[in-house]
Amino acid sequence: MQLPIRKPGKYTYLKPDQHLTEAKYNELKNKLNRLKFNRPRLAEEVKKYASDGDFSENAAYQIAKGKLRGMNQRILEIEDHLKRAVIIKPNKKSGVVQLGSSVTVEANGREKTYLILGSSETNPAKGIISRNSPIGSALIGRRLGDQIKIKLADREIEYKIIKIE
């Protein structure tokens, strides 16, 4: 049985954002430890299925080998991400919006609070946005009271910075 060969896509070789909070860094370390703990068990499974005979028609062996290969790839990716990681430590007293800042803005008479982090930790539903997003990149480097016009998909919105934490 031949495994399918997939063409690499548009986002195949993008490196993850190196800016992480300490909590995300620790979460990745724990995930890496779990993967490394489970790897010997999966290697034993591959070894067991390999002893069943012919590799070309041994589907269980092919599946187990694919799982092991995927796990090894994930371990390498996480190790690389941790090696390149830069821990976000915002200077709360600077008065300037920066990575790790919590910013309260007013737009159209409503207040919204955004936490600006690296792109690997975003959750717009909870108000956590990327520094690379249109709003995040417009807010970085601004001060209290600044007004910013941000052009979104079909409209332009004016934001006023009310509070920086």
Closest CA to 149 of 158, 141, 140: 158
User: Does any domain span residue 7?
Assistant: no
The CA distance from 27 to 29, in Å, is 5
**76 and 26 in a common domain:** yes
pLDDT, position 94: 80
pLDDT at 4 over 80: no
Domain-embedded: residue 94: no
Confidence of residue 51 (pLDDT cuts 50, 70, 90): confident
CATH number where 133 lies: 3.10.50.30
pLDDT confidence bin for 59, thresholds 50/70/90: confident
In a domain, 11, yes or no: no
Check: pTM over 0.75? Answer yes or no: yes
Q: For residues 51 and 9, which has the higher predicted lDDT (pLDDT)?
A: 51
Q: Is the pLDDT of residue 63 over 70?
A: yes
pLDDT of 32 = 97
Domain span holding position 33? 19-87
> What DSSP assignment string belongs to 16-33?
PP-EE-HHHHHHHHHHHH
Residue 94 has what DSSP assignment? S
Residues 74, 36: Cα–Cα separation, whole Å: 10
CATH number, domain of 37, equals: 1.10.287.180
Same domain, residue pair 106 and 154: yes
The residue ranking higher by pLDDT, 96 or 9, is 96
- Shared-domain flag, residues 106 and 77: no
* 10 part of a folded domain: no
Residue 37 sits in the same domain as residue 67: yes
* pLDDT tens readout for residues 121-131: 999 999 999 99
**Average confidence (pLDDT) over 148-158:** 87
* 9 located within any domain: no
The pLDDT of residue 7 is above 80:
no
Which residues, in sequence order, are CB contacts of 129 under 8 Å at separation 6+? 114, 115, 116, 117, 122, 135, 136
Residue 11 has pLDDT above 70, yes or no: no
Number of domains in the chain: 2
Residue with tokens 């709003």: 135
Residue 97 falls within a domain, yes or no? Answer: no
81 and 128 part of one domain = no
**42 and 79 inside one domain:** yes
